[in-house]
Structure 1
C-alpha cells in the first residue's frame, strides 16, 4: 500500500534544492526520468521537516512559500503516483504505438476516490489507479487551499472526456507520424503522460493561486494566471 504518513523532525533541515523544476524539458522520456528523480528528493525534504506539506498549506514565511513553489510542488505531489507504480512499463505512457491500448484500459477502469492506494502489479491497470489518485490528490488540496470547488467539479469525469478525445486522435490515419513531428517541434501530442501532466499543471495552478491569494499582489496573481507552467515564473527564495 502506498502510504504518505511522513514524519517530522524537531530541527528541520534547510530547504536546499527545494526548487524542483523540469528545465523546459519537452521530450516525454526526459520528463519521466526527471520526475523519477524529483519525487524522492522532494519526499526527503518533507520527511526531514524542511518543507510544509502539502504545499498548499504553506504561508509566505515558510520555506518555498511563494506561489511559484506552491504551484510547482502541488503538481509534483500529484504526479508522484506515476513513479510509484511497482512494475513500470513507461511505453504505455509515452510510446505512440501503445497509446490506444493504455487509453482503452483506462476508460474501462472504474474511477476511485482514494489518495492512499493499492497497486495490482499489472502496469496497465496500475497506471490507471495512479492517474485517478493524482487527480484525487488535487481534489483533496482544493478544500485545504479554499480554491473554488466549482473549478474542480467533475475532475475525474472531465479527464475521462479528455482521454476519449485523445483516443479519437490516435485512431486517425497518420497519428504516429504526426506525433513524431510534434515532438520534433517541441510540441506535446496527446500522449497519456502529457495529458496527465497538463491536467495536473492547470489544476495545481488554481490551487496555488487560492493558497497564496491572501498575501499575493494582484499583479502576481495575474502573472500566474497567464503562465502555462511554473517554469515561466522567476524563482523566489
Structure 2
C-alpha cells in the first residue's frame, strides 16, 4: 500500500509522511489502522469533486489520472467496505486463532451482488458482507472500463475457492506458529485480510490496465503486469 496521493492536493509537504506511514506495511493490524484513517479522507475528496470517482473513470489529464494512482485508488475503493463494518472485531481478519471461524462463517454465507450494503451489527457476518461488496465493486469497475472479461469471470466463486484452500492451511498442525514466522519474515500468511487485499490488488491492476486503454505504451503495461503492487511502479 503506497502513497495515496490525495495529501498532495492541499498539503504537498505531507505527501511523503503519508507514504512512509502506509508504504511497506506487513502487519495486518497496521494495515487496518491505516485504512481507518485513509478511507474517510479519500472519500471526502471524492465527495467534494477533488478527485474523479470512481478512479477507473479518470483520464490522463485528471488529477491522479495515471495508471499507478488508478490501480491504487481502485483497490482502496474496494477495501473501503472493511472499515465500514459498524461493530468491528478485527481479530476475525487478523488473529490466527480465529481464521477458521471467520472462513467457515464466510463459506456458509450466501453471496450477494450489491455494492450498497446494509450491515447486520454482527461482525462475523458483516465482514462477509464487506468482502462480497468489495469484490462486487471491482466487478462494477471492470465493467465500466471493459476490462478483460476472463479476468472477472466468476470473481465471487474464485474467491470462495481461495478461502477453502486457506481453511485447509489453517487446519494443519503448527499453522499459527508458521503464521508468526511468516509475519516476522515480512511475508503474508493466508489471514483473511491478506487474502482480500491480494484479490483486490490483482483485480484493480486489471482495471487500471483497461482504463489506460489502447493508447497505453506497451512497456508501461508490461511493467504493470510484472508488478505485484502499485508501489513497484
* Normalised TM-score (structure 1): 0.90
Task: Tell me the SS of whatever aligns to 1:111.
Answer: coil
Q: CA deviation at 1:47?
A: 1.3
1:77 maps to which residue?
77
Separation in structure 2 between the aligned mates of residue 121 and residue 171 of structure 1, nearest angstrom: 28
The alpha carbon displacement at 1:150 in A equals 1.6
1:212 has 2:206 as partner? no
User: How many residues were matched structurally?
Assistant: 220
Residue 159 (structure 1) aligns with: 159
The 5-angstrom pairing of residues 109-120 of structure 1 reads 109-120=109-120
- Is the counterpart of residue 38 in structure 1 residue 38 in structure 2? yes
Q: Per-residue deviation at 1:192? A: 0.2
Q: Against the structure 1 CA distance between its residues 62 and 93, is the aligned structure 2 distance closer, same or farther, given a 3 Å change threshold?
A: same
**Deviation digits for residues 137-158 of structure 1, max 9, x if unmatched?**
0000011111011210000000
In 2, the alpha carbon distance for the partners of 1:198 and 1:94 equals 14
Contact 1:15 1:51 in 2 (8 A): no
Which consecutive residues of structure 1, in runs of 5 or more, have no partner in the other structure? 1-13
DSSP-derived class of the 2:187 partner? coil
- Work out whether 1:127 is the aligned partner of 2:127: yes
Do residues 195 (structure 1) and 195 (structure 2) align?
yes
Q: Give 1:17 shift.
A: 6.3
Cα distance per residue 1:147-189 (max 9 Å; x no partner): 0112100000000000000000000000000000000000000
State the 1:213 CA deviation.
2.4
What is the CA deviation profile of residues 111-157 of structure 1, one whole-angstrom value per residue up to 9, with x for unaligned ones? 00000000000000000000000000000001111101121000000
* TM-score (normalizing by structure 2): 0.92
The match for 2:58 is 58
**What are the residue-to-residue correspondences of 1:166-177 with 2, within 5 Å?**
166-177=166-177
| Contact 1:55/1:73 (8 A) holds in 2 | yes
Q: What secondary structure sits across from 2:176 in the alignment?
A: helix
Q: Which residue of 2 aligns with 1:7?
A: none
How does 1:89-100 map onto structure 2 within 5 Å? 89-100=89-100
Deviations along 1:28-87, whole A, 9 cap, x unmatched?
A: 011111111110010111011110000000000000000000000000000000000000
Larger relative helix fraction: 2
For 1:185, the equivalent position in structure 2 comes to 185
Look up the SS of the partner of 1:15 in the other structure.
Answer: helix
Superposed CA deviations along residues 203-233 of structure 1, whole A, max 9, x for unmatched, are 0000000001234211111111100001111
Cα RMSD over matched residues?
Answer: 1.4
Distance in 1 separating the partners of 2:227 and 2:70: 14
3-state SS of 2:9 partner? coil
Check 1:220–1:192 CA distance in 2 against 1; reply closer, same or farther (3 A cut): same
